[in-house]
Amino acid sequence: MSSLQPIEVPVKIPGISCRVLVGSGLLGRVGQLSAEAGLRGRCAVISDDNVAKLHSAPVLESLRAAGFDPVLLTVPAGEKSKSLSMAENLLERMAEAGLDRGSFVVALGGGVVGDLAGFVAAIYQRGIPFVQIPTTIVAQVDSSVGGKTGVNLRAGKNLVGSFHQPRLVLADIDTLVTLADREYREGFAEVIKHAAIRDTGMLQTIDPSADRSSLTPLIARNIAIKAAIVAEDEKEESGTRALLNFGHTIGHAIENVGGYGELLHGEAISIGLAAALVISQQKYSLSAREADRIRAKLADFGLPLTLPAHLKTNELLVAAAKDKKFSAGQIRFVVVPRLGEAIVADDVTESDLRSAIEAIRA
């Protein structure tokens, strides 16, 4: 564990108070920092059954020491818990535990837990505050910041949800030590995506051999990118926030068709990035050299770049058409004409998507 002070990342969304800290030892400060954020009373700590065994004890102890009355609610680990039925289950358990309008939720886990717990907080008693404690790379650099919460439907990913900003985000890098290698590496798909769309210079700092305890500056740099884009377009009205979807239209389709869990989120996004690079090269003049830089960095982390043979192109296109990144049937596809500069293109066709999918089969 590092003794360095955490880095505070500014989040400047008009009318929103959200404090974001990145560093070591933050699990033991949850109670103090929640009190400083103005939270009071009873709270539900929502986690999955794997993360709860590893990290819930110091969180519960810290909350109790600060005068809070926490109840731990766990869900099965995995993407299948991101469902309306699981949200309903949690809401019933929160009501049984006596949570009211003055209560709050603590989301302790990866992206699934953060999205699910945030959604539950958004709709319980018409909305109560929540705290994000992301425990994976992908959750720390992406899903815990920005206020998107939601669950999946059979038709597609994140089709039911709400914008509900967390009051506090605590990215404790100590939790990354407990991640299995595959779960650790998959999160870097989102880091590499951030470099591709906004910060090319970050590519040279992304090192698969880096000590996990040294990642505070890299995590903070990624959160700053995400926070800046969200501050420009919190609810995806101007199109700026859509830039964060680079690689996600096809990536989410892969997750949906493959069955949630066959590929981890970051693995599916890596393949989606490979497809988006194909379209960026073919239609938007991205150079082969720049595209290969992104492919090489993904490969450095052992992330896949080719599509599993059993995932059929037509099924992927059907799933992509149901994605929330489509608007009135129009494909809104993110491309990078050059690294560090992304745009939302409105002239990508189904034929382009088909061609890109076929290109990443070999």
Please count the CA atoms within 13 angstroms of the CA of 14 that sit on its side-chain side. Answer: 4
- Active-site residues: which are they? 126, 148, 190, 226, 236, 241, 245, 248, 252, 265
Of 175, 200, 211, 180, residue with least CA distance to 302: 180
Q: Which string of DSSP letters, residue by residue, matches 289-337?
A: HHHHHHHHHHHHTT---S--TTS-HHHHHHHHHTSTTEETTEE-EEEEE
Do 7-179 and 193-359 come out as alike in CATH topology?
A: no
Give the pLDDT confidence score for residue 156 in this predicted structure.
84
Q: What is the distance between the alpha carbons of residues 330 and 341, in angstroms, rounded to a whole number?
A: 22
- Containing H/E element for 7? strand 7-9
Q: What is the distance between the alpha carbons of residues 194 and 341, in angstroms, rounded to a whole number?
A: 10
Give the pLDDT confidence score for residue 2 in this predicted structure.
47
Of 313, 303, 299, residue with least CA distance to 357: 313
CATH number of 193-359: 1.20.1090.10
Distances (CA, A) of 97 to 66, 201, 269, 329: 20, 48, 38, 43
Report mean pLDDT in 10-residue bins for the chain, 362 residues.
Answer: 78 86 98 97 97 98 98 96 98 98 98 97 98 97 94 91 96 97 97 97 96 96 95 86 95 90 92 98 96 98 96 95 64 94 94 96 78
Assigned CATH class of 7-179:
alpha beta
Q: Which string of DSSP letters, residue by residue, matches 110-163?
A: SHHHHHHHHHHHHHGGG---EEEEE-SHHIIIIITSS-EEEEEETTEEEEEEEE
Q: What is the distance between the alpha carbons of residues 359 and 307, in angstroms, rounded to a whole number?
A: 9
Contact 51, 139 (CB under 8 A): no
| DSSP designation for 166 | -
Contact 164, 122 (CB under 8 A): yes
Give the pLDDT confidence score for residue 329 in this predicted structure.
60
Length of the chain: 362
Give the pLDDT confidence score for residue 1 in this predicted structure.
47
Residue 328's region, left for phi above 0, alpha for psi from -120 to 50, else beta, is left
Which pLDDT tens digit goes with each residue over 178-210?
A: 999 999 999 999 999 999 999 999 999 999 999
pTM of the model: 0.93
Domain ranges of the chain: 7-179, 193-359
- Containing H/E element for 258? helix 248-258
